[in-house]
Amino acid sequence: MAMSSSIDLSGTTYCVLSGASQGIGRAIAVEVAKLLGPKSVILLLARNKDQLAITAALCESDNVSVVYESIDLSKASPRQMHDVIVRSLKGRSVSDFAASIIFHNVGSLGNLSIDTAQMENVPELREYYDLNVFNVIALNTQFLKIFDEIEDRLVIVNITSLCAIKPMSGMAYYCSGKAAREMYFKVLAEEKKHVRVLNYSPGPVETAMIDYVLAEAVNENLREVFTSFKNQGTLLKPEVTAQKCVRVLQAGKFSPAEHVDYFDDE
């Protein structure tokens, strides 16, 4: 796959997606499932099994075998992550797949009820980084290990945020986690020249996260920003940003681990 070439998911494709139970994760799963060719496999990961089942039902087609497993990615061991991918392959060889893609969508906002200058709860910070950074890296490593022999057919998509590159008052957990995660993928792309890596920033999306910010944030500026998003109707529907993500992927014009935002020109 040349670096500037388009990405074709219309063959037999393997896809794994974290944070697949709701919002952007669910929307991406549905959009990707429409593209996949015969004998493709989608593995959906999240904690909430009932919501995963709903996502799975939305992805079902004659071409796609949908597998979903409830897993807490803040606590899962590398071994558990490895095993969940291997189980989803159901004995098939990785070389059966024309392309294999992973979407790292799992994420949380962190503690919004404390000022940045007052942050000192290291166990809480550690838990935040376990889910949002460390175990994203661990899951990605298992994916790379398992699909090692077809490295030139691999695609990695990190769902990032404008907050990875622009500080946002009241969101030190989220901004620092997104920045660390994005930089990991940039370094990986430097080293793994054959693997296609994209950092996709979905823009302000209408999800449960918005309500969480309005309920929890102590920072006035942050509350104002999100209140205006909500009142002005500028929030994007998950389907809309998922469609853009898929278009960016298919076009394949992004440079290694480029940060591509919903609002960037195509």
- Delimit the domains of the chain by residue range: 13-204+238-261
- Contacts within 8 Å (CB) and 24+ apart, 51-57: 51/21, 51/22, 51/26, 52/20, 52/21, 54/21, 54/26, 55/20, 55/21, 55/22, 55/25, 55/26, 55/29, 55/30
Q: What is the C-alpha separation between 98 and 69, in angstroms, rounded?
A: 24
Choice between 266 and 19, residue whose per-residue pLDDT is larger: 19
Nearest to 201 by CA among 148, 151, 160, 234: 160
The conformation of residue 46, written as its DSSP 8-state character, comes to: E
The reported pLDDT for the residue numbered 1 is: 42
Q: What is the C-alpha separation between 137 and 28, in angstroms, rounded?
A: 20
pLDDT in tens, 207-245: 888 888 989 999 999 999 989 988 988 899 999 999 999
Q: What superfamily would CATH give domain 13-204+238-261?
A: NAD(P)-binding Rossmann-like Domain (3.40.50.720)
Is this model's pTM higher than 0.85 or not? Answer: yes
pLDDT in tens, 124-146: 999 999 999 999 999 999 999 99
Q: pLDDT class for 2, splitting at 50, 70, 90?
A: very low
Task: Quote the distance between the C-alpha of residue 191 and its chain's center.
Answer: 21
pLDDT in tens, 29-59: 999 999 999 999 999 999 999 999 999 999 9
Nearest to 122 by CA among 173, 52, 70, 193: 173
What residue type is 114 in one-letter code? I
Identify any residues that bridge with 18 across adjacent strands, giving them in sequence order.
45
